[in-house]
A and B are shown apart, each in its own frame.
Chain A
C-alpha cells in the first residue's frame, strides 16, 4: 500500500500487565514504570498522580471514570499521534500506527460536571462496557492546591494522551500480532454499483467538561466536515465530555469507531464505504438545525446513498440525530439513527425524547433507565464512594444502566437492544 492509500495498523495484543522498573512490552506482556507514568502526567495543575492496573475478571470496580484512551503511536517521541495534543496539529491518518490492543489508559476521579460513571471488571456489568474486557491502567489524581478545574482537566487530557503514546512506544520494535490494512475511502474505487453508505458522527460540544476536540481544538464552533477515518485511528478526535456515562464516546471509542468498523468490514461486499462526516452538537436549537442541514448537504455533495447517524449524550442529543435524519431523507439519502431508549425503569414510557418527523429507521442501543445490580467487589479505583448513592464504591450497587460507562454506546459498540426481533439475525 502506498503512503497515500490509507493506514496500516500494527496491532500488538496485550495479554498481561504489570507495574515494574521499566516500561516495556515483551511478547504480549506490558510493564509500565510508575516513574514514566508520573513523568508523562507531570503538570503544575496536578499535585500528584498514581497508576494501577485493573484487568478483566478481577473483582475490581472503577468509579468516576472520565476518559479512556487506547495506547497508540506512530513513532518514537510521539510521532504524529494525538495531533494537537501530543503530536503537532498536522493532518494524520496515513502510514503506520502501532496499537496496543486489549489495553486502555483510563482517568478516574472527581471533575465538576462529570457524572458518576462505573466500570466493573467482573460480574454482569463487565460485558456492558468496552473497558470490562481491557487491561486498564487507571490514573488517579490529586489537583494542585488552587489549580482551576479547567486547568486540571487540560493537564489530565494531555498527560493521559502522552502516557498512552509512551506505552505504545514500548512496542515499536516488537513484531505485531496482526497487521490491518485500512484503505482510505477517498482512495477506493466507486464500488461496482454498490450503495455508498457513510457515517455521520455528532460530537457533544457543549462547553467545559462537555467538549470534544478535533486536532487539539474544541469542535464547538465548527461546521460539519469530512474526516478521513484514519484520522480517528490516529487520535484526531479526543473526548473531554464527562456527562451521560452510558451515552458518552470516549477517545477509545473514536479510535475504534464501531460504525466505521462495520462499514469497513462490508466495503466491497455489499457496501461502498463512503466516508465519515463529523458534526458538533450545539446546545442552541437554531444551531442544531443549521449543522443538521449543513451535514446533509455535505453528504449529498459526496454522493451518499445512505448514512448512519450517531450522537453523544442524553435527551437533547436525540434532537441532533432526528434533525439530521430528516434533513438527509429530504436530500434523498436514506438515514438510520442510533438511539438509546429512555423508556423508564419498567420500559413503558415513550422511548425517544425527540423522534424524527419524516425519517423512521432507528436502531435501539438498549434501555437507559433499567436497573442493574452490581455485586460487591474487593477493590475500587477512582474514588471511595459512588456519588449517586452515597455508598462505598466496593458495595453491592443498584444502579440504572445509564451509569455504566458506554453501556448504551451511541456509536453502536454494544449488543443491547430493546427490539425483540433484533436479537438474532433473520
Chain B
C-alpha cells in the first residue's frame, strides 16, 4: 500500500478563517476535511497517512515556513504528496505551489491542485499541477481530478493535459527510441503531408521590451556604461564565468580615465578576445564616454560599470540580471545607459 500525505491550509483543516491565518504548520495522522473524500476516491490501495496544514499568512509570509512544512511532510515518509485544491485562493495557492516545488526538489513525487489563474501555478515548477475549479463549491470534481492524477503518478505515469495538468511543463531531456536526425526526416514528411502544426518545440514567447524615450537633456544626467562582453580586471577577481553566466559584477571606474591593455581582460568564451584585450575600450567604451563627459555632452559618467558574460546564458538568468541592473541603476539615479553587446 502506498503512503500519501496531504497538504492544506488552516481553513480546510477546520481551524477557521482569517483569525487563524497565522497558525504555524502542524501534522495530524490520517485524512482531515476534504482529505476524507480524497481517501475514498484514492481507494484501498493508497492510504492517506497524514495531513499537514498551515495558516495562509504563515505559509506565504514567514521565512522558512516551506522548510518547516516539508520537514513535517517528510516525517510521514510519503510515496506521494498532494497539495490543495487551492482553487483561486492566492496565499493558499502560493503555499501549495512552493510546498510542491520543494517536495519535488527533495525527490518525492508530488502533485498540486489549483485553478489556472492562481498565482501559485508558476511557483510549483518543476512539480506538476492539475486544474481545480474556481471555488470550494467545485470541491467534488476538483478532488476527482486530483485523485486521478495521484493514482497515475503512483502508477509511475507522467502527468499530461489528459490528467488535467496545467502550467508550464519543464523542458527536460528524455531518451527517444530514434535519433534526432531520423525524427527530423519524419517531421519533414509530416509537414509535406499537410501537418502544419507538427513540432517538438513549442514556440517560445519572449517579453516585448518597448524602448525608452530618448533622454531630453543628456548633458544633465548620469549615464552608465554596461557590457555583456565579460571585460574584467586582469585577474578576474569576481570569477566571472566565460559561458553560461550565473552572476554579474560591478567594478569601479572612479578616477579611471582609460582602460590600459594588460590590466583588463575579456573572459568571454564566445569570441576571440585578442582584439578586446589589445584595446579594452573595444568592449567598454570608457575613453569615448570620458570625452563626452569632458565636453559636457553627457552629465556625469556613473562611477562604476556592470558586467556579465552573454554567452549561452539562460534566459532566466539573463532576465534576472536585467531586473537587477535596472533596479540598481534606477536607485542610483542613472537616467541613461549604454549596454555593449558582443
Point out residues on A near B: beta carbons under 8 Å.
113, 115, 195, 197, 206-210, 243-244, 258-259, 261-263, 265-266, 270-271, 283, 305-308, 314-316, 334, 336, 338-339, 341-353, 355, 360-370, 400-402, 409, 411-425
Contact = CB atoms under 8 A, between A and B. Distances in A.
B106 interface: no
Contact of A422 (B158, B171, B183, B317): B183
A420 B201 CA distance: 10
Interface of B: 125-126, 158, 160, 168-185, 187-192, 196-206, 242-244, 269-273, 311-312, 314-317
B269 A243 contact: yes
Nearest to A127: B175
15 contacts: A115-B243, A115-B269, A197-B189, A258-B181, A306-B191, A308-B188, A334-B192, A339-B201, A341-B201, A343-B171, A348-B316, A363-B201, A411-B181, A415-B177, A425-B177
B178 A367 contact: no
B204 A415 contact: no
Contact of B187 (A263, A336, A409, A415): A336
Counting chain B CB atoms within 10 Å of each CB, which of A369, A400, A411 scores highest? A369
Nearest to A247: B312
A195 B189 CA distance: 8
Which 7 residue pairs of A and B lie closest in terms of their CB atoms, listed nearest first?
A412-B181, A350-B204, A347-B170, A258-B181, A419-B200, A412-B180, A362-B201
Contacts of A270: 189
B170 A415 contact: no
Given A207-B272, A367-B171, A420-B158, A342 B180 contact: no
Nearest to B160: A420
Contacts of A197: 185, 188-189, 192
B175 A346 contact: no
Contacts of B160: 420
Contacts of A368: 312
A283 B271 contact: yes
A363 B202 CA distance: 10
B325 to A, nearest CB: 18
B189 A113 contact: no
Contact of B168 (A207, A271, A348): A348
B91 to A, nearest CB: 22
Nearest to B179: A415
A422 to B, nearest CB: 5
Contacts of A314: 243, 270, 311-312
Contact of A350 (B176, B179, B205): B205
A349 B314 contact: yes
Given A367-B172, A412-B179, A420-B158, A113 B272 contact: yes
Contacts of B175: 415-417, 423
A419 to B, nearest CB: 4
A423 B204 contact: no
B272 A417 contact: no
Contacts of B192: 195, 197, 305-306, 334
Nearest to B315: A349
A308 B185 contact: yes
B242 A115 contact: yes
A347 B172 contact: yes
Given A343-B170, A350-B205, A418-B201, A423 B177 contact: yes
B276 to A, nearest CB: 12
B267 to A, nearest CB: 11
Contacts of B180: 258, 338, 363-365, 409, 412-417
A276 to B, nearest CB: 13
Contacts of A355: 203-204
B244 A402 contact: yes
Counting chain B CB atoms within 10 Å of each CB, which of A113, A316, A370, A400 scores highest? A113
B314 A344 contact: yes
A418 B184 contact: no
Contacts of B187: 336, 361, 363
A308 B184 contact: yes
Given A343-B314, A418-B173, A336 B269 contact: no
Counting chain B CB atoms within 10 Å of each CB, which of A261, A265, A342, A422 scores highest? A422
Counting chain A CB atoms within 10 Å of each CB, which of B168, B183, B189 scores highest? B183
Contact of B126 (A341, A346, A411, A416): A346
B316 A413 contact: no
A224 to B, nearest CB: 19
A88 to B, nearest CB: 30
A411 B221 CA distance: 50
B98 to A, nearest CB: 14
A134 to B, nearest CB: 16
Given A197-B189, A314-B311, A338-B184, 14 more contacts: A209-B272, A258-B179, A265-B182, A314-B243, A338-B181, A341-B171, A343-B315, A344-B316, A352-B201, A362-B200, A362-B201, A415-B180, A418-B201, A421-B200
A370 B316 contact: no
Contact of A369 (B168, B198, B244): B244
Nearest to A258: B181
Contacts of A352: 201, 203-204
A243 B191 CA distance: 33
